């Protein structure tokens, strides 16, 4: 007659400990193997976003960045001359809550280009803030003279029809970006 292994509390705890150790080791191995490629992909995504909003630059923007109040500012140069600033900004005032953008500013403070990185706005309405026709009204404008508020609020921005809240949020994020580069940059380089 063969003796069956008795199921005891000690056997169950020992089995769970061994399974947990094997799973922990497996997770640590996978984390170490994927950490580098994930960081590389994240850095490349960041650089691609910057390239979309700025003219040509030759420095590594990720190493020339400053973070202030949740806003990331990338100082961009070409042949050691400042060509502008790419700013990753945000707002929590959108209809869907949090939204992020990347805005490019020339050394004189004018807006070069803007892209929306993430948002949760209403499809077909607030999502139009990512459309080129909406962004076009900001290109070449300097926020020190162009009021970044919708016309309904006394500003100069044409709001998206039926998405005034999203338009206000867009203006909020863009104003936050400009205010941060203005306070960071030499006051003579950002002017009217």
Compute the mean pLDDT over every residue in the chain, rounded to the nearest whole number.
Answer: 86
pLDDT of residue 185: 63
pLDDT of residue 130: 82
Give, in order, the Cα–Cα distances in Å from 87 to each of 26, 72, 80, 99, 143: 39, 6, 19, 14, 14
64: its two tokens: 């020339």
Instruction: Please tell me the pTM assigned to this model.
Output: 0.75
Residue scoring higher pLDDT (102 or 45): 102
Instruction: Please tell me whether residue 99 adopts helix, strand or coil conformation.
Output: strand
Contacts of 88 (CB under 8 A, 6+ apart): 49, 71, 72, 74, 100, 101, 102, 117
Contact 37, 155 (CB under 8 A): no
Q: Decide if pLDDT at 188 tops 80.
A: no
Q: In the predicted model, what is the mean pLDDT of residues 16-36? A: 93
Residue-wise pLDDT tens digits, 41-62: 878 888 899 999 999 999 988 8
Closest CA to 156 of 143, 169, 173, 174: 143
Q: Decide if pLDDT at 12 tops 90.
A: no
Band (pLDDT 50/70/90 cuts) for residue 159 is confident
87: its two tokens: 């700013």
Band (pLDDT 50/70/90 cuts) for residue 73 is very high
Instruction: Please tell me whether residue 152 adopts helix, strand or coil conformation.
Output: helix
Residue scoring higher pLDDT (141 or 119): 141
Q: In the predicted model, what is the mean pLDDT of residues 97-105? A: 93
Band (pLDDT 50/70/90 cuts) for residue 2 is very low
Helix (H) or strand (E) holding 65: strand 65-68
Handedness of CA 30, 33, 38, 41 (dihedral sign): negative
Q: Decide if pLDDT at 191 tops 80.
A: no
Residue scoring higher pLDDT (5 or 24): 24
pLDDT of residue 1: 40
């Amino acid at each position: 007659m063969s003796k069956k292994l008795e199921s005891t509390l000690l056997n169950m705890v020992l089995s769970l400990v061994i399974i947990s150790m094997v799973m922990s080791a497996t997770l640590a191995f996978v984390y170490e193997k994927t950490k580098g490629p994930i960081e590389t992909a994240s850095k490349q995504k960041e650089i691609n976003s910057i390239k979309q909003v700025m003219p040509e630059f030759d420095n590594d923007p990720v190493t020339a960045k400053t973070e202030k109040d949740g806003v990331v500012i990338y100082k961009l140069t070409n042949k050691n001359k400042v060509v502008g600033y790419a700013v990753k900004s945000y707002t929590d005032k959108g209809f869907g809550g949090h939204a992020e953008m990347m805005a490019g500013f020339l050394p004189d403070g004018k807006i070069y280009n803007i892209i929306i990185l993430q948002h949760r706005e209403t499809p077909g309405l607030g999502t139009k803030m990512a459309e080129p026709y909406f962004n076009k009204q900001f290109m070449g404008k300097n926020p020190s003279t162009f009021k970044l508020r919708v016309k309904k609020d006394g500003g100069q921005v044409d709001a998206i029809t039926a998405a005034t809240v999203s338009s206000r949020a867009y203006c909020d994020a863009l104003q936050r970006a400009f205010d941060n580069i203005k306070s960071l940059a030499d006051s003579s380089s950002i002017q009217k």
